[in-house]
Amino acid sequence: MNEIQLEKVDFEPGKSFKLFSPRLRNTFLWHYHPEFELVYVEADAGIRHVGTHISTYTQSDLVFIGGNLPHLNFDYRLRSDYHQIVIQLRTDFLGTAVGLAPEFSLISKLFKAAEYGIAFSGETKKVVAQKLKELSSLSSLDQLLQLINIFQQLACSTETEKLNDNLTSKNFILKDKIRMGAIYEYIDANYHKKPDVNVVAQKVNLTTPAFCRYFKRQNNMTFTEFVNQYRVERAKNLLMQNHNVSETCYAIGFDSISYFNKLFKQITGENPSDFRRSRYAGISQL
């Protein structure tokens, strides 16, 4: 049975943060770690899975994740070339200054909000992305000063999206790492093959009724609703890469285009062809 992995983060001596560019697109790395993490990725379209939140990003994504918030690697299943920058912070990053110095009051609030996961968009994402790209050419001290500047900018931004509504699900996932890891990995491997609730219940040693109660308590939706949402996010990913509606429908496991259209509109508020037209046109103009 697969378990949500605890990632051990190693820091260089004398460094309070780690700057690197991982490439793990062929690995389903559903993991967590005590360290805060700032992730920036440039790609045509990808999946964002943080806590119980699942959504699609286009062209780029900028997310700040608090300690021990389970998440999937942001480059998972990316097919075209991509660029990723990850900053991981020691748990005692800046010592007690963040909580005590009045100059850091907004950054302190940002760090608390990061427990839920925060995605940034618009001008904030654009400006911070440029600053992150400059980090590798700076000295260690200048990198730290640049990071403080970045966190201040993020703390002042209104171009944000809170990714999880509460911490109950996070705590529940961490208490049951093996079971939830197995469930999410099963869904990812089988979303296009009509996932069977009886099979996944058996995988995690629960009766089907007990599994359904367990899953809804954890995710605030039924297993079928979650799978359909996951399918639609995968469909959005394909549509943004200019796949047509019919091939997208069959690729994610639906036999009926009319049902796919209905479900897609129910979840996203627009039909797949309109979504594809608007998103792909926007990408082409960038």
Instruction: Return the CATH number at 143.
Output: 2.60.120
pLDDT given for residue 282 in this prediction: 52
CB 114 within 8 A of CB 63: no
- Who contacts 42 (Cβ-Cβ below 8 Å, separation ≥6)? 59, 60, 82, 83, 84, 129
What whole-number distance in Å separates Cα of residue 146 and Cα of residue 138? Answer: 9
User: Final residue of a domain: which of 162, 188, 220?
Assistant: 162
Instruction: Return the CATH number at 196.
Output: 1.10.10.60
pLDDT given for residue 11 in this prediction: 95
pLDDT given for residue 2 in this prediction: 62
pLDDT given for residue 285 in this prediction: 46
Instruction: Please check whether residues 158 and 197 belong to one and the same domain.
Output: no
Where does the chain show beta strands of DSSP type E?
A: 5-6, 17-20, 30-32, 36-50, 53-65, 71-72, 83-89, 118-120, 160-162
Instruction: Please check whether residues 61 and 146 belong to one and the same domain.
Output: yes
Instruction: Please check whether residues 30 and 54 belong to one and the same domain.
Output: yes
CB 216 within 8 A of CB 222: yes
Count Cβ atoms below 10 Å from residue 150 Cβ, excluding itself: 20
CB 26 within 8 A of CB 188: no
Over residues 85-127, the pLDDT tens digits come to 999 999 989 887 777 789 899 999 999 999 999 999 999 999 9
39 assigned to some structural domain: yes
Enclosing H/E stretch for 150:
helix 140-156
Handedness of CA 208, 218, 182, 76 (dihedral sign): positive
User: Final residue of a domain: which of 133, 162, 191?
Assistant: 162
pLDDT given for residue 280 in this prediction: 60
Q: Which residues of the chain have pLDDT under 50?
A: 1, 283-286
pLDDT given for residue 1 in this prediction: 47
CA distances from 110 to 54, 63, 64, 178 (A): 21, 12, 9, 30
Based on the structure, what is the number of domains in the chain? 2
114 assigned to some structural domain: yes
Query: What is the per-residue burial (b if ≥16 Cβ within 10 Å, else e) of 231-260?
Result: bbbbbbbbbbbebebeebbeebbbeeeeeb
What whole-number distance in Å separates Cα of residue 258 and Cα of residue 239? Answer: 16
CB 87 within 8 A of CB 147: yes
pLDDT given for residue 251 in this prediction: 93
- pTM passes above 0.75: yes
CA distances from 152 to 87, 131, 161 (A): 15, 12, 17
pLDDT given for residue 68 in this prediction: 93
pLDDT given for residue 35 in this prediction: 96
